Amino acid sequence: MHCNGESVVLEKVQLETQRRRLFQTLWNSFYRVILPRMGQGVALCVSGGADSRALLEAMSHWPLRHQGRVLVLSVDHQTRAESKKEAKAVLARAKVLGFETQLITLETSIRSDEATLRKHRYQALWQFAQAQKIRSLCTAHHQGDDAEGFLMDLFGLGGGHEGSAMNSELKTDQGEVLRPFLNFSRKALLQLLTVIDATDYFTDPTNENSTAKRSQIRSWLNEDLLKFHPSPHERLAYIAKRRGLDLQALYVVADQLIKIENPNMIFVRFQPNTPDAIFLRALTQALKMLVPDKDLRNANRALSNLLNHAKKIMTDHNQGLDQTSSSFTLGHKKLARFDLPGVLATVTSAGIELGKKSE
């Protein structure tokens, strides 16, 4: 009996040590990402799923949770009969943990595709947060979300900003979106919930819907890719981060080619030795400035064609050749015009002029 008692005590000590280490790892990210924003208030955006439940539980045990105001918000999308019940259940748990809570309900008339729901969800969250003078929304996005986003972009299915990883702190016009879990796997979050015996989270059946593209990507990532790599989520999340750093470097160089003539006209300067990747990036950035609401993910081919025509026109101009097909002369300028989403592009011997079309 004495040995059994010692064994039980040892198991409890080991469990507590594991619990403390798991919490501390997450809290380290809280110190870096959340603590500097606590003074202006933080809203935790939680669903009934495992990831956001881990965020809620980790925050409730964080020694510095009372350094500022923390609200817990949950959104009922009204896409399933159980969604309101699940949202109320997670808010009930938040109240037990001592948090202020608020249920936000979206209109049933909103289209149920993922992109539309995400847009309206954030609009509703920010509207409530601003009314409460809260400056930061905190979500439970993790490594798996970055990995999924990378694959979504790879196959032209969306995936955020060209497949690059999300930022742990994202500044917006409304405030900041905080994502403290981006360096953690979902496995680590599930491990925490298991150790603290908080496994009564919900599973959204739409995540298993084989007709949804993201669900298909998630299934492939969680099942098939594990046969080829021991940790595909970590590997793809790393590549997504590296892509983000590459894009940042391209932005800096590409910005030097852009000249804003006026709000409806941007000129992209052409230099013969400029790598195509930089010039295409400058064109893309200029287009986003002119038509920020347009979806430009399928404009890559048009931009490549535009660049090839521009290079030909400028080569002909430098060699003193006659104008090429699809171009014409206006004064002393050799021009070619191309239609892009919401924009008319005019090629000259000095670069490409992008003008916003009148509605």
User: Can you give the pTM of this predicted structure?
Assistant: 0.80
pLDDT > 50? residue 160: yes
Bridge-partner residues for 102, per DSSP? 73
- Alpha helices by DSSP H, the chain: 2-33, 50-61, 83-96, 114-131, 143-154, 186-195, 213-219, 232-255, 276-290, 300-318
Q: Are 83 and 77 in contact (CB under 8 A)?
A: yes
Give the per-residue pLDDT at 215. Answer: 82
Rounded CA-CA distance 146/150 in Å is: 6
To the nearest whole percent, how much of the chain has pLDDT over 90?
45
Bridge-partner residues for 330, per DSSP? 333
Give the per-residue pLDDT at 45. Answer: 95
> pLDDT tens digits, residue range 89-147?
999 999 999 999 999 998 876 666 777 888 889 999 999 999 999 999 999 999 999 99
Q: Which residue is listed with tokens 């209109």?
A: 107
Split at pLDDT 50, 70, 90, the class of 292 is confident
What token pair was written down for 29?
């990210």
User: Helices 2-33 and 50-61 meet at what angle, rounded to 10?
Assistant: 90
Rounded CA-CA distance 277/222 in Å is: 33
Q: Which residues of 328-345 are buried (b: 16+ CB within 10 A; e: fewer)?
A: eeeeeebbbebebebbeb
> pLDDT tens digits, residue range 22-63?
999 999 999 999 999 999 999 999 988 999 999 999 999 999
Give the per-residue pLDDT at 332. Answer: 40
Average pLDDT over residues 299-318: 75
Centroid of chain to Cα 18: 31
* Run of H or E residues at 161: none
pLDDT > 70? residue 293: yes
Residue spans of the domains in the chain: they are: 2-240, 256-356
CATH 3.40.50.620 corresponds to the domain 2-240: yes
Centroid of chain to Cα 280: 22
- Residue 124, phi then psi, degrees to nearest 5: -70, -40
